[in-house]
Chain A
């Protein structure tokens, strides 16, 4: 089943064209990695897909689960099954982690006509996932990302991912700022989430996350385009030789 189809996507930020015709198809059961040097457009692709204000699509198309994305609000894209993992998860003072999780899950359920999640069920589910991610329950009571280390913020993202169970997880540099132990925990979360009916797109600079997550496809992004696609060996090749050859071409 096709979960995402991006065709000739051109987008700009502040009147500057960043994406220059991106093509990407993601099917259920697949794990993709998008790699590329700084400024190549990886984060822009993530933000455009999620509908962040200020990122304007000028041509091309995006479809989520077969439905056109253009015209959908940010939250409608989430309801359609998209989850964006943030490169820099920001702090939200005064809003507790559990409050965010309950509102997020209830919003998803409301969109599909389901009842709100009960407090007991929520706590039970959160505890299970938190344990898997070695996340102290104390963090769940705290304000969203406030006073969290870089690694804790990323683990919090994965916690949200695992609880919300989206169809497509688009994780923007989830591995940045992680030490090796935290990287393994995050990778375990991604592997636990990954299933035959969903898909993951990992946006990353480095190959090291791919040592812990099995990817099916690797794409190289340069100057706002996916210039080469291949298997896991492509990531190893980039790790050994850098992006120079793609930049030259």
Chain B
């Protein structure tokens, strides 16, 4: 009879599995290893990680490292599209992978990624910089800097694999980030960490169709005053697909604002989980932060879990957080049917309407079939 491993021993076993790998990527793997050893992995099947099998993500990262194409030696090989006011370089030593708030999966990517790509949108450019990351199933690691008073539009389409994108917004910079997580029967781990300096603006527009296992982490660290972060997105899952979204917004200084709005639809036997956390640190008085997550479970065996969190360590803040999970509005369905619209089409219209409230880019609308 098989015995089930305890979560703690499984975590240690997974950590050992990572550290035993001989492959070390060009990112400062030794520092990443130190971070991982110090911090450890999250405890599998517990708390925020109860809906995603960590071992699957780690095993996939190891497999991707083994299969990585190590012959790509120039930026051109990577097929990144940029405007002329973006500088791009490949590899180099960048120091430790910051993993303190994010959980250590980012450090795992840092250990295994064979290279990293650095991009910089030049300071005070007259024109909006454009970056389009390549869509390929790889271990990718990007470090992107948006220069002072620069504006950048970034498109990140992703169909499975293991990708970490670290962004830093200098003073007065603006980043519009369109994240499109396309459906896949593979494993999908995506992490985005954004550091915002004073007067910067970050807009995230995300859309997802889920994966066999999809884990999407977004971390926003606001370290400068008068910064504005707006994060929105939607997911529509069907069949047996999975999506686990973790969004953390950390206000470290005061006078900044953040807003999160995420809507999810879960159909058939799909499963979604959303964890949204706002942290207002001691020096962050005068912050305004809001978080809403709404879910529709439309399938007979669909499951949607939501966990909004708010941690406030100072006074003089305006904050709200909330999450709902429900079904389609019967009254709205009846109204549409009473106008002659077939039930299946009426459901489709209501689902589209629900998602449109949180998905506002053409790429997201296309992925989720929200176009009229």
Query: For chains A and B in complex, what number of residue pairs have CB atoms within 8 angstroms?
Result: 76
- Interface-facing stretch out of A73-81, A202-210, A212-220: A73-81
A6-34 interface bits toward B, Cβ cutoff 8 Å, 1 = contact, 0 = none: 00000000000000000000000000000
- Interface presence of A198 (CB below 8 A): no
Q: Is the CB of B332 within 8 A of A90?
A: yes
Closest to B345 in A: A103
A54-78 interface bits toward B, Cβ cutoff 8 Å, 1 = contact, 0 = none: 0000000000000000000111011
Question: In the bound complex, what is the Cα–Cα distance between A111 and B345 (angstroms)?
Answer: 14
Residues of B within 8 A of A247 (CB): none
Q: Is the CB of A92 within 8 A of B341?
A: no
Q: Is the CB of A95 within 8 A of B352?
A: yes
Q: Is the CB of B345 within 8 A of A107?
A: yes
- Interface presence of A86 (CB below 8 A): yes
Q: Is the CB of B339 within 8 A of A104?
A: yes
- Interface presence of B47 (CB below 8 A): no
Q: Is the CB of A74 within 8 A of B357?
A: no
Secondary structure class of chain B's binding surface, majority of residues = helix
Q: Is the CB of A78 within 8 A of B335?
A: no
- Interface presence of B330 (CB below 8 A): yes
Q: Is the CB of A99 within 8 A of B340?
A: no
Contact of B341 among A52, A90, A96, A107 (CB under 8 A): A107
Residues of B within 8 A of A104 (CB): 339-341
Give the residues from 92 to 146 in chain A that come closer than 8 angstroms, CB to CB, to chain B. 92-96, 99-100, 103-104, 107-108, 111, 143
- Interface presence of B313 (CB below 8 A): no
Q: Is the CB of A94 within 8 A of B355?
A: yes
Closest to B263 in A: A94
Q: Is the CB of B335 within 8 A of A73?
A: no
Residues of A within 8 A of B337 (CB): 73-75, 78
In the assembled complex, the CB of A39 is this many whole angstroms from the nearest CB of chain B, namely 20
Residues of B within 8 A of A143 (CB): 353
Known: A75-B340, A104-B341, A108-B340. A86 touches B353 (CB 8 A): no
Q: Is the CB of B335 within 8 A of A89?
A: yes
B11-45 interface bits toward A, Cβ cutoff 8 Å, 1 = contact, 0 = none: 00000000000000000000000000000000000
Question: In the bound complex, what is the Cα–Cα distance between A171 and B201 (angstroms)?
Answer: 50
Residues of B within 8 A of A93 (CB): 353-354, 357
Question: In the bound complex, what is the Cα–Cα distance between A135 and B195 (angstroms)?
Answer: 48
Give the residues from 144 to 163 in chain A that come closer than 8 angstroms, CB to CB, to chain B. 160
Closest to B348 in A: A103
Q: Is the CB of A103 within 8 A of B352?
A: no
- Interface presence of B372 (CB below 8 A): yes
Question: In the bound complex, what is the Cα–Cα distance between A53 and B332 (angstroms)?
Answer: 12
Residues of B within 8 A of A99 (CB): 349, 372
- Interface presence of A164 (CB below 8 A): yes
Q: Is the CB of B340 within 8 A of A111?
A: yes
Q: Is the CB of B343 within 8 A of A92?
A: no
Residues of A within 8 A of B330 (CB): 53
Q: Is the CB of B335 within 8 A of A86?
A: yes
Give the residues from 323 to 341 in chain B that come closer than 8 angstroms, CB to CB, to chain A. 329-332, 334-341
Closest to A89 in B: B335
- Interface presence of B56 (CB below 8 A): no
Q: Is the CB of A96 within 8 A of B336?
A: no
Q: Is the CB of A75 within 8 A of B335?
A: no
Contact of A92 among B335, B338, B345 (CB under 8 A): B335
Contact of A74 among B332, B334, B354 (CB under 8 A): B334
Residues of B within 8 A of A75 (CB): 337-338, 340-343
Number of A residues with CB within 8 Å of any CB on chain B = 29
Q: Is the CB of A92 within 8 A of B353?
A: yes
- Interface presence of A50 (CB below 8 A): yes
Give the residues from 211 to 242 in chain A that come closer than 8 angstroms, CB to CB, to chain B. none
Contact of A107 among B329, B339, B350 (CB under 8 A): B339
Q: Is the CB of A53 within 8 A of B354?
A: no
Question: In the bound complex, what is the Cα–Cα distance between A90 and B338 (angstroms)?
Answer: 13
Give the residues from 140 to 196 in chain A that come closer than 8 angstroms, CB to CB, to chain B. 143, 160, 164
Question: In the bound complex, what is the Cα–Cα distance between A183 and B28 (angstroms)?
Answer: 74
Contact of B342 among A94, A95, A107 (CB under 8 A): A107
Known: A53-B330, A107-B345. A160 touches B339 (CB 8 A): yes
Q: Is the CB of A94 within 8 A of B357?
A: yes
Closest to B334 in A: A52
In the assembled complex, the CB of A175 is this many whole angstroms from the nearest CB of chain B, namely 19
In the assembled complex, the CB of B308 is this many whole angstroms from the nearest CB of chain A, namely 20
Residues of B within 8 A of A73 (CB): 337, 343
Residues of B within 8 A of A108 (CB): 340
Residues of B within 8 A of A74 (CB): 334, 337-338, 343
Residues of B within 8 A of A77 (CB): 338
- Interface presence of B356 (CB below 8 A): yes
Residues of A within 8 A of B357 (CB): 93-94
Give the one of A84, A90, A99, A103 with max B CB within 10 A.
Answer: A103
In the assembled complex, the CB of B141 is this many whole angstroms from the nearest CB of chain A, namely 37
Give the one of B335, B342, B357 with max A CB within 10 A.
Answer: B335
Known: A86-B335, A89-B335, A107-B345. A94 touches B352 (CB 8 A): yes
- Can you spell out 7 A-B residue pairs with CB atoms less than 8 angstroms apart? A73-B343, A74-B338, A93-B357, A103-B339, A104-B339, A104-B340, A164-B340
Instruction: Beyond A73-B343, A94-B355, list 16 extra A-B contacts (CB 8 Å).
Output: A73-B337, A74-B337, A78-B337, A78-B338, A78-B339, A79-B340, A84-B338, A86-B335, A89-B335, A92-B336, A92-B353, A94-B350, A100-B336, A103-B349, A104-B341, A164-B339
Closest 6 CB pairs of A and B: A94-B353, A78-B340, A74-B337, A104-B339, A107-B340, A95-B353
